[in-house]
Structure 1
């Protein structure tokens, strides 16, 4: 009986070793196949263009405007919650074509932009007005506006920054229901 149990144990160990060797050789073969494919791709060095890729061309400088802002960031310092900050960013078009701002988007609902709607001719000035409403805001703030125009790059960002002091400084406001 001991011999039968011993034979079964030896047979089990031998079977396990054989199976693990087969799995190892399968893994080695798969790894080698992947390494061969990588080597082939590296030697061909051909870039595959996606089907949905658009062809790009270098823009003709004669068709572009160019922003020149004396400042691209305005620090409004410390204000109290609820105050409204307004800043006028002026720019000059240093490009070869009229500068056309197609859209300006704000980073949050607390900021609203206005800008020169008419094309700004080369050498002339335009503006971007940014209004920041600090209601329901506190602490460090840095709202931005993104300008989309016929420039290179096509998007330019302006930023306001400062700190908003809460209406009731240091007073704890109750959270949740109050027990009486």
Structure 2
């Protein structure tokens, strides 16, 4: 057993000391420069700024569709790419946004349609998924939905 351990120790010692070349000598300066440029640009993100973070439709009749537009601007240092825009429920539909990269300084917009469902104070969140540092941004719509005057009201019958 001692011979086996001694043999393995000798083999390891030879393997570790046989490398005569220093790894630092193999690094090329052009690769270091390219990596520095890549790392500097990787820290640059687009920044999305909205003209408004919330839109209030005020009082609307039940089942009355309304819509608004949210304008945004890329104030960052890299192209902005919006990959998806989703709402917190199916009664609110975001649409008409560009899937093309938005250059720094450029502006865009998307439309949000709300079908007027719900009662009283209604608030819906729209999530914008993009290549920003956070990965997603949120805007909100609110409305006060008045009851439909033509709706049939249930009658309560008294028990005898």
TM range (shorter): 0.5 to 0.7
Specify which of 64, 67, 73 is matched with residue 92 of structure 1.
73
* Counterpart-to-counterpart distance in 1, 2:61 and 2:72: 29
Provide the TM-score with structure 1 as the length reference: 0.59
Specify which of 148, 163, 166 is matched with residue 147 of structure 2.
166
Alpha-carbon offset, residue 174 of structure 1: 3.6
Max Rg structure:
1
Contiguous gaps of at least 5 residues in structure 1? 1-58
Structure-to-structure mapping, 1:100-179, within 5 angstroms: 100-114=81-95, 115-135=97-117, 137-168=118-149, 172-174=153-155
Alpha-carbon offset, residue 128 of structure 1: 2.2
Contiguous gaps of at least 5 residues in structure 2? 1-40
Structure-to-structure mapping, 1:15-26, within 5 angstroms: none
Alpha-carbon offset, residue 169 of structure 1: 8.1
Supply the RMSD in Å over aligned alpha carbons: 2.4
Specify which of 34, 40, 63 is matched with residue 82 of structure 1.
63
* Counterpart-to-counterpart distance in 2, 1:91 and 1:98: 13
Q: Is the 8 A contact 1:67 1:94 kept in 2?
A: yes
Greater helix percent: which structure? 1
Q: Is the 8 A contact 1:61 1:96 kept in 2?
A: no
Alpha-carbon offset, residue 76 of structure 1: 0.6
Equivalent residue number for residue 27 of structure 1: none
Equivalent residue number for residue 52 of structure 2: 71
Between stretches 161-170 and 112-121, larger displacement belongs to 161-170
* Counterpart-to-counterpart distance in 2, 1:94 and 1:122: 6
Equivalent residue number for residue 17 of structure 1: none
Provide the TM-score with structure 2 as the length reference: 0.66
Greater strand percent: which structure? 2
Specify which of 39, 42, 47 is matched with residue 60 of structure 1.
42
* Counterpart-to-counterpart distance in 1, 2:98 and 2:126: 14
